[in-house]
Amino acid sequence: MERFAALATAPSAVPRAAVEAVVDAGARAALVDVRSPGEHARGRAPRAINAPLFDDDERAAVGTAYKTRGRGEALVLGMAAAAPRLEAIVERAKRAVETVATTRGNGDGEDDGEIDVYVMCFRGGMRSSCVGWLLKERLRGARVHVVEGGYKAFRRWALERCGPTRGLPAPRVCVVGGRTGVGKTRALLALRAKGEQIIDLEGLANHAGSAFGWVGREPQPTSEHYSNLVACEWHALDASRWVFIEDEGPHVGRCSVDPLLFERMRNAPLVLRMVAPRELVKRLGGDRVRDIREKLEAGDFTAVAEGLLEYYDDVRFHVDLVHAVRLIGVPNLHQVIIRATH
pLDDT in tens, 146-184: 999 999 999 999 999 998 766 778 999 999 998 877 788
Q: How many CB atoms lie within 10 A of CB 216?
A: 7
d(CA 204, CA 255): 10
pLDDT of residue 298: 86
Q: Which of 121, 130, 174, 255 is catalytic?
A: 121
Tell me: pLDDT of 340 over 50: no
In order of start, what are the domains of the chain with their CATH numbers?
2-157 (3.40.250.10), 164-276+315-339 (3.40.50)
For residues 193 and 228, what is the distance between their CA atoms, to the nearest angstrom?
A: 24
232 labelled catalytic: no
Q: Which residue has the higher pLDDT, 120 or 113?
A: 120
Please report, rounded to a whole number, the percentage of residues in the chain having pLDDT higher than 70.
79
Residue 336 has pLDDT above 50, yes or no: no
Residue 294: per-residue pLDDT: 86
The answer on pLDDT for 113 being more than 90 is no
Q: What is the mean pLDDT of residues 75-95?
A: 93
Task: Kindly report which listed range (24-33, 247-256, 265-274, 304-313) carries the lowest average pLDDT score.
Answer: 304-313
Decide: 62 and 78 in contact? Cβ < 8 Å. Answer: yes
Q: Are 172 and 269 in contact (CB under 8 A)?
A: yes
| Band of residue 111 on the pLDDT scale cut at 50, 70, 90 | very low
Average pLDDT over every residue of 11-38: 93
What three-state secondary structure class fits 245?
strand
- Contact call for residues 272 and 176 (beta carbons, < 8 A): yes
State mean pLDDT over 246-264: 93
**Would you say residue 99 has pLDDT above 50?**
yes
Give the up-direction half-sphere exposure of residue 18: CA atoms within 13 A in the CB hemisphere: 4
Which of 40-44, 181-185, 207-211, 311-315 is most confident?
40-44
Whole-number pLDDT of residue 279: 60
Q: Is the pLDDT assigned to residue 112 strictly greater than 60?
A: no
pLDDT given for residue 289 in this prediction: 73
pTM above 0.85, yes or no: no
Helices in the chain by DSSP H: which ranges? 2-9, 19-25, 37-42, 56-69, 71-82, 86-104, 126-138, 150-161, 184-193, 201-205, 223-235, 259-266, 280-284, 286-297, 301-314, 321-327
User: Phi, psi at residue 304, to the nearest 5°?
Assistant: -65, -45
| pLDDT tier, 110 (very low <50, low <70, confident <90, very high otherwise) | very low
Distances (CA, A) of 59 to 5, 63, 127, 325: 17, 6, 10, 52
Compute the distance between CA of residue 286 and CA of residue 279 in angstroms, rounded to an integer. Answer: 11
Q: How far apart (Å, rounded) are the C-alpha atoms in residues 233 and 169?
A: 15
Confidence class for position 108, pLDDT limits 50, 70, 90: very low
Residues 98/49, Cβ–Cβ less than 8 Å: no
At 95, the pLDDT band (50, 70, 90 cuts) reads: very high
- Give the per-residue pLDDT at 2: 60
73-82, 242-251, 309-318: the lowest-pLDDT one = 309-318
CA 331, chain centre distance (Å):
33
Distance CA 93, CA 33 (A): 10
The sign of the dihedral angle between the CA atoms of 154, 156, 160, 166 is negative
Per-residue confidence band for 186, with pLDDT thresholds at 50, 70 and 90: confident
**Average of per-residue pLDDT values in the chain:** 83
Write the DSSP assignment of 53-94 as a string of letters: SS-HHHHHHHHHHHHHH-HHHHHHHHHHHHGGGHHHHHHHHH
Q: What pLDDT is stored for residue 320 in this prediction?
A: 44
Instruction: Round the CA-based radius of gyration of the chain to a whole number and report it.
Output: 26
Q: Is 280 a residue whose pLDDT tops 50?
A: yes
Order of all β-strands in the sheet with 173-178: 197-199, 243-246, 173-178, 270-275, 335-339
Given this model, what pLDDT does residue 92 score?
Answer: 96
Q: How far apart are CA 148 and CA 124, in angstroms?
A: 5
